[in-house]
Structure 1
Amino acid sequence: MVDSGFVTTGEYRTLLASYADVRGLEGPITVSSTNGHLESGAAEATTGTADETQIGGAPLDEATRLATESREASHTDGTVQIDSIDDLVEHFITAGRKGVAINRYKGLGEMNADQLWATTMKPGTRTLLQVRAEDAEAADEMFETLMGEKVEPRREFIEKNALNVRNLDV
């Protein structure tokens, strides 16, 4: 059962837009997967080398260099017969959860060294983004609105922008 609150969410809008793509499908459906198989050369394009990644201007150590080298991953092809849209949805939900463990941390200090390396520091899988405040005054105002002690500006911001949320981590 779907309540009225759900139809105002970003997930509902995404689901509704996706429905147009699948509404005409009837079983049986064959789903083929390659488990993340990349075409040759694609893995190298997405992974930086140790020479390209530096911390504070200093080259990275040997362990970091080895972590960035590409490795051959095992890829298995699979084909599944699906008889209905409900089975198709269940298949993709199950496939999406395979090998996924969700851990939540309030800060990096809660992780042990192995967890920090695997989730944050490993050069082969991390994403580094440089954040710049082009307009320091606007950035300060936004920071104060969202993180400041005054509740009213934060509440107004949330009310104004709540329907624009795409990925909410609760």
Structure 2
Amino acid sequence: MPLPFLTADRAFDEAVDDQALPFDDRDRWRRPYRPGPWRVGAAAILLLLASYVLVAAVIIAAAGTLPAGAVCFALALVVIACALRLLRVGTWVSARGLRKVGFFSTRTAPWEQVVSARTVQQPVRWLGLPRTVQGQALVLVRKDRAPETVPPLMTSHNADFLARPESFDRATDAVEAWAAEYAGRA
């Protein structure tokens, strides 16, 4: 079974120096980095919890209370959907624009509205929690918004890049390469 999210880093590792964007189909949305161990671990724990809830749903349904079994089954489906959504969170790029996928919302910026994407040193949230630490953030400079109003696309201390500075540098370089090639085109 092919796992396309595992090929993201490999494609950039194997790319030749003169080819900054090593993908043939640039119209397809793709994340230019692998999901981090914190994100994958949290999703695995949620899927483990969902398996226990599904077993409980079968036991409850076999005991004769079908409505309670259906509620447990629905709860398991919600937990599975949350785990899958957690794995989709991140920054995605294509020839059409740049997409920031959050757990509850998705924002897309067409390349025509993007001036640049750059890495800056600033206080960033640690694993998305209220605590801030000094780190790096990839910020998007847009034509239609002030730079202060645009949240960072990715940070060096989020669930994808915590304790993985090389991956953060590689991912920001990839997004900056997409922005350099496509930003400002009309």
The TM-score with structure 2 as length reference comes to 0.23
Which fold has the larger relative contact order, with Cα–Cα distance below 8 Å and residues 6 or more apart in sequence?
A: 1
Largest Rg, 1 or 2: 1
Q: Per residue, is there more strand in 1 or in 2?
A: 2
